[in-house]
Chain A
Amino acid sequence: MLSFFARRVGESLALILGVLVLVFFLVRLTGDPVGLMLPKEAPPEQRAAFAAEMGLDRPLPVQFAAYMTGVARGDFGESLRQRRPTLEIVAERLPATFELALAALAFALLVAVPLGLAGGMRPGTWVDVLARGVGLAGQTVPNFWLGMLFIVWFAVGLGWFPAFGRDDLSSIVLPAVALGFAGMGQLIRLTRSAVLEVRRSDFVRTAQAKGIAGTRVSLKHVLPNVAIPIVSVLGIQFTYLLGGSVYIEVVFAWPGLGTLLETAIRDTDFPLVQAITIFLSFFAISIHLLTDLAYGLIDPRLRAA
């Protein structure tokens, strides 16, 4: 048991280290910030002085060593543009992104579970056709395009919701629906197929034979059994939502990590790009680790795997 935990934690740490190395060198392949940050007219002497000031004139291995030493101490460096600790900047934007991802997940669940349940309980009926149709749409429509469509319809056309920004509660509706749409599609299909499976079990047939009402069978007998696969993908869904929020945040001018990442990449703000990607990977890896560990606790057979 202990060795299973140790192995999984060790693997995750190695993965995070891999991400650190990969991100550090990949962003540096994209160009030299000095050439891009300074005004085009900046004289060569100023470029040299600026590079020295920012530590960008040192050989790459030296920069990497310095960076890793910092990371070990919890120091992820300063943003080249904002001249502030990157962790501070990430922390500012984190709540907005979490809020949006949670709202998107809530939307996906609220639509997907009832629809998938209803469709799965009555396969071939109009509800099922609807469930499958919405599920397919969810998995195929690109979310940024949906976001633009929502803005044109519901903000500009109907005036029901704000077109952008993070203000009151109404401002989260459009981005959350656009972001959660794909996850919703996946969850509908998952719920529906799980329901189809459970529906065939003896205990459901018994319940129906006893004359229990359809709704009661769905909620009391089928739903709890379907809940297991749904809950197990939620964590992964959430990490997808965090990643997917980049497009949606830009479209809706939502001040989260997504818009920050977009700007940081465009500005070749290496330390900031590193901090954001490492944080997002860390989060995703942790969720996977926790899911794995939970499985291991529940199912002893997996510990050997």
Chain B
Amino acid sequence: MLRLRILPALLALAAVLVPTSVAQAQDELVVSLSSDPTSLFMPRTSDRTASNAAWSLFDSLVWIDDDGNLVPALATDWTISEDGTEYVFELREGVTFHNGETFDAESVVATWETGSDESNDYASAYSAADSVEAIDAYTVRITTPEPNAIFLTTIANNWAMVPPDYIREVGLDAFAQDPVGTGPFRFVSRTPGDRIVMEANPDYWADGLPRVDRLVYRVIPDGSTRLAAIRTGDVDVANRLTPDQVTALEGAEDVEVVQYLNDRVYYVGFKNMGAGEGTPIEDRRVRLALNYGLDRFGINQAIFSGQANAAPGFVVEGNLGYDADTMQPFPYDPDRARALLAEAGYPDGFEISMGCPADGYVNINEVCQAIASSLGQIGVDVEVDFQTTNAYWSEPNYAVTGPMYVDSWSSEFGEAIPRLDGALTPGNYYNTWEDERIANLIQEIQREVDRDARAELYGEMHELMREDPPFIYLYQPVIFEAVDADLEGYQPRAAEEYFLRSVGFAD
């Protein structure tokens, strides 16, 4: 008879092959990425994962520090003209790109020129400037068409300085494969779908940085696999975890959970155009009723185990102009909601359709159903219309949905202006609500270069959007990540951005 020696033999073989997780040298930082970066050329980094990885290679003229302040980077100083449309930057001298090329005014001009190419995903971040010219080797003048409150933050977030000679020599496609910047790390190699390897830039202009010798990004698309990887110690940072996954880490040694409020507001949008015309939601009192009549606190509890913040409006915690004393979410007040509906002429409520991007966000299907159920309590019969995400977002003005729809909008500037402008400036792709007072105030904010004055305008905006709400404000999610307990200096920001130049390990 055939004796089954093969199975045990296989197992034995497997046991021999087992070198597995060797403890990492503490001079190597391994960070997980939830998707393979589309590109490391900043203007073409079409998602946060890609731009986070790319920023390790590059610097901009200015930098936003962990406290949200604009501080010098490759520009040591700058002045803004009286009318707010002309910026003169003094550049840092003695900085070289990783290939030895000198960083100077020509690099800034070239960065703007390559970035503004219309085939780039982020071309609009470069076309915010009208002209960029070198005054001398280390002085640059940049003009904007109008005063632009967030111009410096736009530069800080997008304008990664690139070497013109190198790009001219190898072309943009080759540059994207083997990128060269002035940043804290130098590109070493990339295995598509697997990893990106970088090493410390020994000539980095900021003293004492970076703090590790090697930086490795590992692509791990599945959340539970990222969780496994942090538990085995194969990665030092595991991002984009769910609350459930984090619970599984309780008691795990050497792992620390990081959680922070995401600068992303979920909301129900209204349309006072297209499908929304002639519907009850055009009445201000109805929109107020829907805000009072939605139990957003109950939804947060039931669906997010309380791990989300009820959103007070579009200006939220961490944004410029946010004031916890005056900016609180609508209270849950179904009686008031019913009274408002009656006043508006709908004592028995009404029927309305609400679009929902199926599986487009974490738990969004449940959220949509919970909204329908909660508003049902005040007599508003919401029919949830689930759509595929692609159909949902590819049409302008949410054309595939009815008078109401669910969506979210993030911001990366520490200010609410990108989502205000995107959602509420008439003519924009995702605009469905036209309100002249709001539109005018948006313009005013965009042109107000003074930070304090802008903060005040955000307060006014909040009031306006509270009295006559263009949305039902829902929640701000909490982001969960897990890191090696010895990691120091890892400070992800509210827009899920992180910078690794000052991250290191405790001795």
A-to-B contact residues, CB < 8 Å: 30-44, 46-47, 49-50, 53-54, 81-84, 89, 92-93, 96, 110-111, 114-115, 117-118, 121-122, 127, 148, 151-152, 155-156, 159-166, 168-170, 173, 214-215, 218-219, 250-253, 255-256, 259-260, 262-263, 266-268
Chain A residues with CB under 8 Å of B389's CB are 31
- Is A250's CB under 8 angstroms from B222's CB? yes
- A159-B21, A253-B218 are contacts. A49–B118 as well, Cβ < 8 Å? yes
Query: What 16 additional pairs, Cβ within 8 angstroms, besides A41-B428, A156-B231, A161-B20?
Result: A31-B388, A31-B390, A32-B390, A42-B429, A82-B38, A110-B10, A114-B2, A117-B2, A152-B228, A165-B220, A165-B234, A168-B19, A170-B20, A214-B2, A218-B1, A259-B36
What is the distance, in angstroms, from B101's C-beta to the closest C-beta of chain A? 23
Task: Mark out the residues of chain B between 322 and 363 whose CB falls within 8 Å of any chain A CB in the assembled complex.
Answer: none
Chain A residues with CB under 8 Å of B176's CB are 83
| Chain A binding surface SS class | helix
- A93-B192, A253-B218 are contacts. A40–B422 as well, Cβ < 8 Å? yes
A255–B193 Cα distance when bound, in Å, is 5
Contact partner of A46 (CB less than 8 A), chosen from B124, B225, B391, B396, is: B124
Q: 7 shortest A-B CB distances, which residue pairs? A: A31-B390, A255-B193, A32-B394, A35-B394, A255-B194, A163-B228, A31-B394
Contact partner of B394 (CB less than 8 A), chosen from A36, A53, A260, is: A36
A256–B194 Cα distance when bound, in Å, is 9
- Is A115's CB under 8 angstroms from B4's CB? yes
What is the distance, in angstroms, from A76's C-beta to the closest C-beta of chain B? 17
B 190-207 to A, binary, CB cutoff 8 A, 1 in contact else 0? 011111000000000000
Answer yes or no: B122 CB below 8 A from chain A CBs: yes
B 1-36 to A, binary, CB cutoff 8 A, 1 in contact else 0? 111101100100011011111000000000000011
- A121-B2, A173-B14 are contacts. A46–B44 as well, Cβ < 8 Å? no
- A173-B17, A215-B2, A259-B193 are contacts. A250–B173 as well, Cβ < 8 Å? no
- Is B393's CB under 8 angstroms from A35's CB? yes
Contact partner of B39 (CB less than 8 A), chosen from A36, A83, A218, is: A83
A46–B119 Cα distance when bound, in Å, is 9
- Which residue, of B2, B20, B221, has the highest number of chain A Cβ atoms within 10 A? B2
Chain B residues with CB under 8 Å of A155's CB are 20, 228, 232
What is the distance, in angstroms, from A204's C-beta to the closest C-beta of chain B? 14
Chain A residues with CB under 8 Å of B219's CB are 253, 255, 259
- Is B430's CB under 8 angstroms from A40's CB? yes
- Is A81's CB under 8 angstroms from B4's CB? no
- Is B4's CB under 8 angstroms from A170's CB? no
Residue of A nearest to B13 (CB): A173
Task: Mark out the residues of chain B between 384 and 404 whose CB falls within 8 Å of any chain A CB in the assembled complex.
Answer: 388-391, 393-396
Chain A residues with CB under 8 Å of B428's CB are 41, 43-44
- Is B1's CB under 8 angstroms from A163's CB? no
What is the distance, in angstroms, from A187's C-beta to the closest C-beta of chain B? 14
- Is A262's CB under 8 angstroms from B124's CB? no
- Is A31's CB under 8 angstroms from B393's CB? yes
A60–B393 Cα distance when bound, in Å, is 20
What is the distance, in angstroms, from B394's C-beta to the closest C-beta of chain A? 4
- Is A38's CB under 8 angstroms from B121's CB? yes
What is the distance, in angstroms, from A73's C-beta to the closest C-beta of chain B? 20
What is the distance, in angstroms, from A119's C-beta to the closest C-beta of chain B? 10
Contact partner of B118 (CB less than 8 A), chosen from A44, A53, A89, A214, is: A53
Tier of interface size on chain B: 35 or more
Chain A residues with CB under 8 Å of B39's CB are 81-83
A39–B418 Cα distance when bound, in Å, is 11
- Is A36's CB under 8 angstroms from B225's CB? no
Contact partner of A166 (CB less than 8 A), chosen from B21, B194, B224, B225, is: B194
A164–B234 Cα distance when bound, in Å, is 9
B 62-105 to A, binary, CB cutoff 8 A, 1 in contact else 0? 00000000000000000000000000000000000000000000
Chain A residues with CB under 8 Å of B307's CB are none
Chain A residues with CB under 8 Å of B393's CB are 31, 35-36
What is the distance, in angstroms, from B471's C-beta to the closest C-beta of chain A? 15
What is the distance, in angstroms, from B260's C-beta to the closest C-beta of chain A? 22
Chain B residues with CB under 8 Å of A156's CB are 228, 231-232
- A36-B394, A81-B39, A121-B2 are contacts. A262–B221 as well, Cβ < 8 Å? yes
Chain A residues with CB under 8 Å of B246's CB are none
- A47-B429, A161-B18 are contacts. A83–B192 as well, Cβ < 8 Å? no
- Is B46's CB under 8 angstroms from A165's CB? no
Residue of A nearest to B418 (CB): A41
B 418-440 to A, binary, CB cutoff 8 A, 1 in contact else 0? 10011000011110000000000
A284–B402 Cα distance when bound, in Å, is 44
- Is B36's CB under 8 angstroms from A164's CB? no
- Is B395's CB under 8 angstroms from A53's CB? no
What is the distance, in angstroms, from B116's C-beta to the closest C-beta of chain A? 10
Chain B residues with CB under 8 Å of A46's CB are 118, 123-124, 127
Contact partner of A84 (CB less than 8 A), chosen from B123, B173, B418, is: B173
- Is A34's CB under 8 angstroms from B21's CB? no
- A121-B2, A251-B225 are contacts. A54–B395 as well, Cβ < 8 Å? no
Answer yes or no: B166 CB below 8 A from chain A CBs: no
- Is B14's CB under 8 angstroms from A31's CB? no
Contact partner of B221 (CB less than 8 A), chosen from A35, A41, A253, A268, is: A253
B 209-250 to A, binary, CB cutoff 8 A, 1 in contact else 0? 000000000111110110011011010000000000000000
- Is A160's CB under 8 angstroms from B4's CB? no
A244–B364 Cα distance when bound, in Å, is 28
